[in-house]
A and B are shown apart, each in its own frame.
Chain A
Amino acid sequence: EAQVTQNPRYLITVTGKKLTVTCSQNMNHEYMSWYRQDPGLGLRQIYYSMNVEVTDKGDVPEGYKVSRKEKRNFPLILESPSPNQTSLYFCASSMVLGVYEQYFGPGTRLTVT
Chain B
Amino acid sequence: GDSVTQMEGPVTLSEEAFLTINCTYTATGYPSLFWYVQYPGEGLQLLLKATKADDKGSNKGFEATYRKETTSFHLEKGSVQVSDSAVYFCALSDRNNNNDMRFGAGTRLTVKP
> Taking beta carbons and an 8 Å cutoff, which residues of A are in contact with B?
4, 33, 35, 40-43, 45, 90, 92, 96-99, 101-102, 104-107
Contacts and interface: CB of A to CB of B under 8 A. Distances in A.
B43 A97 contact: no
Given A4-B43, A40-B105, A97-B101, 12 more contacts: A42-B104, A42-B105, A42-B106, A43-B44, A43-B103, A98-B93, A98-B95, A99-B51, A101-B34, A102-B46, A105-B43, A106-B41
Q: Max chain B CB contacts within 10 Å: which of A90, A97, A105?
A: A97
Contacts of B105: 40-42
Interface string B56-92: 0000000000000000000000000000000001000
Nearest to B108: A39
A106 B39 CA distance: 10
Interface of B: 32, 34, 36, 41-46, 49, 51, 89, 93, 95, 99-101, 103-106
Contacts of A33: 101
Contacts of B100: 45, 97
B103 A42 contact: yes
Contacts of B101: 33, 45, 97, 102
Given A40-B105, A42-B89, A45-B101, A101 B49 contact: yes
Contact of B44 (A41, A97, A104): A104
A99 to B, nearest CB: 5
B104 A107 contact: no
Given A42-B104, A99-B51, A106 B42 contact: yes
A106 B41 CA distance: 8
B89 A43 contact: yes
10 contacts: A42-B89, A42-B105, A42-B106, A90-B43, A96-B99, A98-B99, A102-B46, A104-B43, A106-B42, A106-B43
